[in-house]
Structure 1
């Protein structure tokens, strides 16, 4: 499936959150959606998922609007992991992951063999099988996030939209989840993931989309998107850059200097 968002505008009260955003994502792509807090990343992801209706513009799924596809079919083809997804119900891990198969099930029907197989694959991929019988509310924040990721993976959709899936994870599981998302894309799904860690975004995503002030400031390969001028404008910081095993890592280093007219200027390295 290909998602094509065209001229998306979203306003919440007096706040214009998205301003004419265009974004297309196709099969096999892993796109990192980056930007400062309040840039509009989560809102854009909800619009792509069909959860948030844009005030202006349109989202097409293989060239069709969501109303032409239907809610059930869209839920089968687009999996969405929300940033603030809660998992506080008194359900086991296995039961929560199985919720990802609801779009495939008839009313009041149990899990089919295909459903059970998909749930097993998802729990294995997210490494939550060891606590499959535990009640989700007893898990740590990072463990719950992996359960919710497994629920999204169980959909086995054409598109996976994940909003900050590594925010609550320790470094090992951050690397494992990013590798899992990349493997999902390599199997043919389109993946869009909201990230704040620029090193992981550059390392794992084939393409970055940088939002600033509700607009797309840059869209393309990491080395172009994370140019000093773009980072200074979007984040108000300079980056320290290094290399390990042929890959670049980036660290936020210091705030940019602000000139007398309010313009940001990159400080020279000392």
Structure 2
């Protein structure tokens, strides 16, 4: 499991996260929610070894700060909120970077399997920079999936850490990403995802963690977190769950088929 105890993270002189405790289980999707600046991305970056921290973060019992980079790369894939590509790679070459970070570098056909999973197989030979922002986001997800293709291996569960994985996507591709997350967790892997869309989060999450100013103000199953009081406190506006809009059309992703 992922276990976080007494976590504090400072960026410069500012404490972004202070004294946070959290546990995430394999076989489940854990969604991190909260307003802008609440510490969601900082939490993900600390949990994946990208930021220094005080306290303890362990993955499968091993302290993150003490784990060699190669072992972390074998156990978890990380989709950052934004990834810059400075060289003229093709789409397939971007996905192959994930293979080189993981344990399946010699597996025949995995690049195309990962691209097919995100609906991008027909772009394998195209220059990455010719793609739209949403297409690039899907290719980066394919790269991360290639890194941890199997949800469980001989050493135990593997993990996906995803920072806003659907932010640049249309609703059909948002639902497809939700299915990838769900399938990975159902196969025994762990998923920790930062999300902004409350409806999509309620649709996919087994457990939710609601942050405000670097602290947890609510956690638990969706029906315990997606409620008027915690959401209104976190986001600073009056929110009512389940209220039908008074005018205009509206659509929930729960009404769609994945």
Q: In structure 2, list runs of 5 or more residues that go unmatched.
A: 152-157, 245-250
> What secondary structure does 1:31 align onto?
strand
Distance 2:85 2:118 in 1: 16
For 2:90, the equivalent position in structure 1 comes to 92
> What secondary structure does 1:239 align onto?
coil
For 2:190, the equivalent position in structure 1 comes to 190
Distance 1:20 1:191 in 2: 23
Cα drift, residue 227 of structure 1:
1.6
Change (3 A) 1:21 1:67: closer
For 1:29, the equivalent position in structure 2 comes to 28
For 1:169, the equivalent position in structure 2 comes to 169
Cα drift, residue 104 of structure 1:
4.4
Distance 1:98 1:161 in 2: 19
For 2:46, the equivalent position in structure 1 comes to 47
> What secondary structure does 1:217 align onto?
strand
> What secondary structure does 2:240 align onto?
strand
For 1:7, the equivalent position in structure 2 comes to 6
Cα drift, residue 221 of structure 1:
0.7
Q: Is 1:66 paired with 2:37?
A: no
For 1:149, the equivalent position in structure 2 comes to 141
Distance 1:62 1:176 in 2: 28
Distance 1:9 1:146 in 2: 32
Q: Cα RMSD over matched residues?
A: 2.1
> What secondary structure does 1:219 align onto?
strand
Cα drift, residue 134 of structure 1:
0.6
For 2:128, the equivalent position in structure 1 comes to 136
For 2:229, the equivalent position in structure 1 comes to 229
> Could you list the per-position Cα deviations for residues 117-153 of structure 1 after superposition, in whole angstroms to 9, with x for gaps in the alignment?
3323211211110101111101000000000000000
Distance 1:206 1:186 in 2: 11
For 2:155, the equivalent position in structure 1 comes to none
Q: In structure 1, list runs of 5 or more residues that go unmatched.
A: 249-270
Q: Is 1:78 paired with 2:76?
A: yes
Distance 1:185 1:86 in 2: 28
> Could you list the per-position Cα deviations for residues 214-253 of structure 1 after superposition, in whole angstroms to 9, with x for gaps in the alignment?
00111101111112110111001213515999x69xxxxx
Distance 2:26 2:16 in 1: 27
CA contact (8 A) 1:79 1:155 kept: yes
* Larger relative strand fraction: 1
Please report the TM-score for the alignment, with normalisation by the length of structure 2: 0.87
How many pairs were matched up? 239
